[in-house]
Amino acid sequence: MTDPRDVPRREVTGAWFLLFGYAVLMTGMVWDGQWHGDVGPDNFWTAPHLLLYAGTGIIGLSCLIVVLLSTWARGPATDTPSVTVFRTFRAPWPFLVGGLGASGNLLYAGADLWWHEVYGFDIAAGTTPSHFGLGLSIQVEIFAMVMAFAVLRRTRSERWGLALAIGLATLGSTSAFGMVSRCAPRCRCGACHDRRPGPGLRR
């Protein structure tokens, strides 16, 4: 089992950046739910979407930096569970998982943009394949955040970080799965059904 005293500083800092990035992501996700109810799915480049993907960018960039620093680090390897990628990069498991989650999130964001350009925004939010992919990618990012803090137990602040990560993970999991049920076809708010159809959508 990993000794918390053997966790290098780069991974400690990276864990806090994962927490910060996920807090930004979750803020955008919750705001997006309110936006869909109040304004409707009017545009892909809404403020909540930009905030959501800014959080994903923070997570992905933090994971990339930690992996590169771990690869270039001199001295004996730490006890943090890691894997060698492409026989070159030494990636601590939490940051490899987080990087994969962030990559998937951005990939499905592009797929979501394409979907709405083809079918319009009248399709009920959360019922498209891209929204299912986004929800799953967010779950992977949540798991990575908790993994990163699970090896940090040296100080009171790091233990509080683990508790906060678990709390955000619990709230975020509910919100992420809510992406696949928000404004379902039977929604009566009217926001999803009173707008002009997209070019590929027929009523």
Q: pLDDT tens digits, residue range 124-153?
A: 555 678 888 888 899 999 999 998 888 876
- DSSP assignment of 69-102 equals HHHH--SS--SS-EEEETTTEEEEHHHHHHHHHH
Residue with tokens 């990163």: 148
pLDDT greater at residue 203 or residue 4: 4
Mean pLDDT of 63-81: 78
Highest-pLDDT range among 21-25, 87-91, 175-179? 21-25
Q: What pLDDT is recorded for position 104?
A: 94
Output the six-digit token pair for 62.
Answer: 């933090």
For the chain, how are helix, strand and coil distributed in percent, rounded to 5?
Answer: 65, 5, 30
Provide the pLDDT confidence category of residue 186 given band limits of 50, 70 and 90: very low
* 28, pLDDT greater than 80: yes
Summarised one tens digit per residue, pLDDT across range 73-109 is 765 556 667 788 887 888 889 999 999 999 999 998 8
Mean pLDDT of 41-67: 88
Q: What pLDDT is recorded for position 201?
A: 43
Mean pLDDT of 60-67: 95
Q: What pLDDT is recorded for position 171?
A: 79
Least confident of 109-113, 119-123, 135-139: 119-123
Mean pLDDT of 6-34: 88
| CA diameter of the chain | 64
